[in-house]
Structure 1
Amino acid sequence: MRKEILTLLFVLIHFISFSQSQKELLVNSWVLKNATYNSGNELPIDHPLKSNYLRFDFINYEKVFKTAFPLDNGYIFQYKILNNLIKIGFVNYKIENLSKNELVLIEQGVNGFDESSIKYSFIPENDYQNKLALTNEMLIISDKDTIFIESEKIRAKFKNEKSFHSFITDEISEYSNVVSSNNYFLATFIINEKGKIDSLKIHKGINKRFDKQFLKAVEKSEKYWTPAEYDNRNVKVLHTETFEFIKNPKFEKQYFNYRDGIISMRKKEYETAINYFNISIESNPNDFDSIYQRSICYLIIDEITKACEDWEFVKKKKKVNELIEKYCK
């Protein structure tokens, strides 16, 4: 009898430790490397999983973020593990393989786990990022510093049970008052090597109340950031945050070109930025923000006459009198 009890205890201890080890390995950020049918056959060429990004970020032993966007946490779900099965939200998966280098899940289909089920092969996000090339478009280099533009390869992580965008939105009470408007918002800030927020700037605001609440929300978010890493060291990254309240196609064209113009300016690609601002101005000839930003590009590339023309046009809306006095007299 005593022998049987000891055997039972050994089995229970083994089961518990196995489950615990699974959880410890699972708590990581996993990016999809490949997806096939469980039979081994390839998915159709037009299947979304053939080209789309997918990440599961298991933040603890109970919750996981699932996202199709590299720079967003996505949606959070409860998950449970039983033996080699894991339930994420309402979806069941079989864990075919779990190691520090790979996670393979088979999604339960209408007929259970059969050949038509989809098999997901994930690798740790760090391994995935190391495989991506670093391009000049990801860098802002000055005499004193190097800043990485947040990308699929290099990103700071927002350690909260909400995505950063959701966190910010929930902190802005003015959001509900502008959501039905034709408007857009664009801001940038740097997450430095210590995970602190620096150089916070609103490039295109909505109104004083919205902008003030946004700044306060970003300051509140600082404690949740962890710095980006590159080449085994912490680095600075530039984060861009937007809100798009778009109700008609004409406004949409204006917004996206203004945004791309600002991004080009940050990269010091001033002639490219001018082209984007020109398209935005074509959509709305009274787009004072685009005209002003274009004038700064003209100034930098030494086309002073064009800069002065823009300042004359926007001087009733923008504080450009000092610029006119200095460069246009």
Structure 2
Amino acid sequence: MKVLVTGCAGFIGMHTCLRLLTRGDDVIGLDNLNDYYDVRLKEDRLAQLRQFGKFSFDKLDITDQASVAAIFERENIEGVIHLAAQAGVRYSLKNPLAYIQSNLVGFTNILEECRHHQIKHLVFASSSSVYGANTAIPFSVSQNVDHPVSLYAATKKAGELIAHSYSHLYSLPVTCLRFFTVYGPWGRPDMSPYLFASAILEGRSIDVFNHGKMQRDFTYIGDIVEGVVRVLDRPARPNASFDTAAPDPSTSYAPYRVYNIGNHQPVELMTFIETIENALGRKAVKNMLPMQPGDVVATYAETSELREAIGFTPSTPLHVGVGKFVDWYVAYHESKKLNLLSRNKLHD
């Protein structure tokens, strides 16, 4: 299959591309390499992908409609995995327009090209943040998600709705995947595993919000990618028994589906921190803080629908996933130090 992966230099994007490439797919990667976090990390991820002859990369912004259209015109794309987005809950309080542009305008550009080029399946990265003010857990895809508590969440919910309209109007198969707190090697520097590991190793304090009284359904990146690729291979189909008098938000008369993809096992934040401490062999200095705007107290994925659809649900134990993340983190930053020392010696 020839697959377009947007956001290919991102955390989930790189791992998804690697999974597709190792099974023999042709992958076209798009990314604007913005500076929301360290661009060098994104370039290092790309270096992993460029080792494959079946990978090609285009640096472009999905808000550039003409450039997006040119990619679809040039390539005979069969499937699309749309991961590009302005990420981050707290950053959406500072720069809301970035979310409107990338998560709504950019996504609509992708949808337009998918419908014009008869794409076999579009898989869209949504987020557990869409559950917002919901307190009924575990979170089920059959629940209404009409009360987002951050603009980021609102744009992801809006993306699901826009995708459904395209699925309805143009019979475009679309599957929306709500990711739950993804972690693992090559993770984002603005996410808690990276922030905690960095601070602990450097002797700085870590910020613990809501005084540690939080739960997250931490999901290992390998499990996420396995789910994404399995879903890609099973295009969404209309639900013949869809009840328009009592509509289920997770399915439709159109070829459209929504799934949670999470570990189905919420973890206390303090337990997560302890797991990182154990893997690093050091204790954290904790700075206990109140709840932050846009945050939710707990996330917990109900994943039975995903299991029934693709025969898989995430299951990597926390200590195993954190151990793999810490091993990567230490090796990656050690190699960066060695490279810096080598460059300095050349200049001496």
Which of structures 1 and 2 has the bigger CA Rg? Answer: 1
Higher helix share: 2
Give the TM-score normalised by the residue count of structure 1. 0.24
